[in-house]
């Protein structure tokens, strides 16, 4: 018991230091969220210096316990904890929120001891669930800890994560709610009724513990208890006081996101020392990290892995979504890090082909796309190569998670099927018509849109090797003819000039389903003695600017783009922007009205993105 008391005194001192530094950092920066850090300091101290097993000198040790600060605005605690560990010094700590500092207002991976970017609330538990599931899949015994604020527990994605964490029996996932009662503008939904949070999580199959979040012994005991739970994740609801330690702001509304002024900081620090005189004194306890054992090997990457050459036959027809499933399975055979996450549409995305061949590497995420994307971030951080598939339309509801994945520089491979009006009679709610625009906006992203099985197959391999951010592959529902030979290559940023002559009157650029329409238009126009160039823009971002301009210049400096996507942010606007100084005229055929149910060919005609529309536009230019 003496040892436990000594540890407690040491932890209380560390919590004091975390509070002190949080105040100093935010005041120096002139901004930040000190009151949110003050409430959670005891929890973070207990995690870093009592519960967690990790090697401070090797953050990437795959056996380290992981910590995710879901309430990212409390970032001073994360940075101060790593200062106390010895990873950074006080001088660097005081650069907080500076333009040239890696210690940003909300954590990103510019700070090398960050698991994932947080700050858009409600995602940390999903990321943690991904990491915890990764530990199970790798047969590693590390724990994942997540610290959430009580306000963010209103987010629906939290409950998506809670449900799936129990479904996969993630007893290596331990989460805290910093229940300090106050949000940004007022009291949280449940205030200090901690039992309401406990009842909710218990209803989802979790073990729940309620503690005083400022009683270090209670925090330690709760962590010990959580490690005993088998088959269930654990939630620890820690009742705390926002602004704890500074009477002026304690449990008071109106101080969220407000730093103390520089002329007042010494007074505030003095009050903190008077409130916690014992904790302010350095402890005689000597802390040593508990460094985990086990092998340090992560699954190998897919770079350089040679997939089996496909055996598709030119002229046959196959949906590109099915080619995706076949390609992913072929990739899985040569790269063990490849996993598939699917949103309960595997028979539509054809991820079911992979699931049947590699059931232990297939993760059913059910209809919870937000959680699915953030889980993939956690899995990618632990060495996996995740491919995430659902209908292209449904990525829009998870776009914040995709956006944060990009900020996390996570290498996710997203595959959106059933894109465009060409899906037919299911109607507009199922038609992904915004996805190219959304995915193009992401820093470091690539956007791929193959027209046939061969190009789809080859581009899946390219995605596996792309490790600079998000890669997005757009697939279609209906079958399309195979136009390429199995030996054809499709480099990222390239395109294919399928038709070209010295007499072209326009350059028609299509991708996916509209490339098929462009080739139909070419055949019809040829019969009438009219020649056009046709480009397959399979790589939308980045696209082959030089080739496009060269072909267009030869085709009387006219471009016609055609796409099964809304005009805004799509292929047409992409090209129009880049060629704006090249004296090239451009006409964009795209979906410009709310679609409706109908047969694919009827909808393509109604939206004026079929072969007939191309022919009409070409003739209008003559």
Supply the residues annotated as catalytic: 369
CB 236 within 8 A of CB 143: no
**Strand 531-536 relative to strand 539-541: parallel, antiparallel, unpaired?**
unpaired
What is the spatial distance between Cα 613 and Cα 610, in angstroms, rounded to a whole number?
A: 5
Residue 387 structure tokens:
């491919």
Site of tokens 């799936």: 164
Angle in degrees, CA 221, 225, 228, rounded to 5: 150
CB 389 within 8 A of CB 415: yes
> Going by C-beta distance under 8 Å and a sequence separation of 6 or more, which residues neighbour residue 109?
116, 117, 408, 409
What is the spatial distance between Cα 409 and Cα 377, in angstroms, rounded to a whole number?
A: 9
Residue 550's Cβ-count burial label (10 Å; 0-12, 13-18, 19+) is middle
> Going by C-beta distance under 8 Å and a sequence separation of 6 or more, which residues neighbour residue 21?
76, 79, 80, 83, 90, 93
CB 589 within 8 A of CB 563: yes
What is the spatial distance between Cα 196 and Cα 159, in angstroms, rounded to a whole number?
A: 14
Please tell me what DSSP assigns to residue 99.
Answer: T
């Amino acid at each position: 018991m003496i040892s436990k008391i000594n540890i407690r005194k040491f932890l209380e001192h560390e919590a004091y230091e975390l509070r002190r530094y949080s105040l100093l950092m935010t005041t120096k920066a002139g901004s930040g969220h000190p009151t949110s850090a003050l409430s959670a300091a005891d929890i973070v101290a207990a995690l870093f210096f009592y519960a967690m097993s990790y090697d401070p000198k090797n953050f990437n040790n795959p056996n380290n316990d992981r910590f995710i600060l879901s309430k990212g605005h409390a970032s001073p605690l994360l940075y101060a904890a790593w200062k106390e560990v010895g990873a950074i010094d006080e001088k660097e700590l005081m650069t907080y929120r500076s333009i040239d500092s890696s210690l940003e207002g909300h954590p990103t991976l510019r700070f090398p001891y960050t698991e994932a970017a947080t700050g858009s609330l409600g995602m940390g538990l999903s990321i943690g669930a991904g990491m915890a599931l990764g530990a199970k899949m790798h047969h590693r015994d590390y724990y994942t800890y997540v610290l959430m604020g009580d306000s963010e527990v209103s987010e629906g994605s939290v409950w998506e994560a809670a449900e799936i964490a129990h479904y996969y029996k993630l007893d290596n996932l331990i989460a805290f709610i910093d229940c300090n009662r106050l949000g940004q503008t007022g009291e949280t939904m449940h205030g200090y009724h901690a039992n309401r949070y406990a009842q909710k999580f218990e209803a989802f199959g979790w073990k729940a513990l309620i503690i005083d979040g400022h009683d270090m012994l209670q925090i330690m005991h709760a962590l010990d208890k959580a490690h005993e739970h088998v088959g269930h994740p654990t939630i620890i609801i820690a009742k705390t006081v926002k602004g704890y330690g500074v009477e002026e702001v304690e449990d008071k509304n109106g101080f969220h996101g407000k730093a103390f002024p520089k002329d007042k900081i010494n007074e505030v620090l003095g009050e903190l020392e008077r409130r916690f005189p014992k904790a302010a004194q350095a402890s005689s306890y000597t802390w040593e990290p508990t460094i985990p054992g086990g092998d340090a090997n992560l699954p190998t990457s897919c770079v350089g892995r040679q997939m089996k050459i496909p055996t598709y036959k030119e002229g046959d027809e196959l949906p590109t979504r099915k080619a995706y499933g076949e390609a992913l399975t072929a990739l899985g055979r040569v790269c063990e890090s490849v996993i598939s996450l699917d949103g309960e549409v595997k028979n539509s995305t054809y991820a079911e082909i992979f699931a049947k061949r590699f059931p232990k590497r297939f993760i059913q995420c059910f209809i919870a796309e937000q959680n699915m994307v953030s889980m993939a971030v956690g899995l990618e951080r632990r060495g996996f190569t995740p491919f995430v598939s659902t209908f292209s339309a449904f990525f829009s509801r998870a776009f914040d998670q995709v956006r944060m994945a990009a900020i996390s520089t996570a290498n996710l491979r997203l595959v959106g099927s059933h894109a465009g009006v060409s899906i037919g009679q299911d109607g507009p709610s199922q038609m992904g018509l915004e996805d190219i625009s959304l995915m193009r906006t992401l820093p470091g992203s690539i956007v791929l849109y193959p027209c046939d099985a061969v190009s789809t197959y080859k581009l899946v391999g390219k995605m596996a090797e792309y490790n600079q951010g998000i890669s997005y592959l757009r697939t279609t529902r209906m079958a399309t003819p195979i136009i390429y030979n199995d030996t054809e290559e499709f480099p990222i940023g390239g395109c294919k000039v399928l038709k070209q002559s010295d007499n072209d009157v326009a350059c028609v650029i299509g991708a996916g389903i509209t490339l098929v329409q462009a080739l139909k238009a070419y055949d019809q126009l040829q019969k009438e003695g009219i020649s056009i160039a046709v480009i397959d823009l399979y790589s939308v971002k980045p696209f082959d600017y030089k080739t496009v301009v060269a072909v267009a210049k030869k085709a009387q400096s006219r471009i016609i783009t055609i796409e099964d996507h809304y005009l805004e942010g799509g292929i047409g606007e992409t090209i129009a922007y880049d060629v704006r100084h090249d004296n090239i005229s451009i006409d964009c055929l795209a979906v410009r009205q709310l679609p409706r149910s109908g047969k694919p060919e009827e909808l393509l005609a109604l939206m004026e993105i079929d072969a007939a529309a191309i022919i009409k536009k070409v003739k209008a230019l003559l």
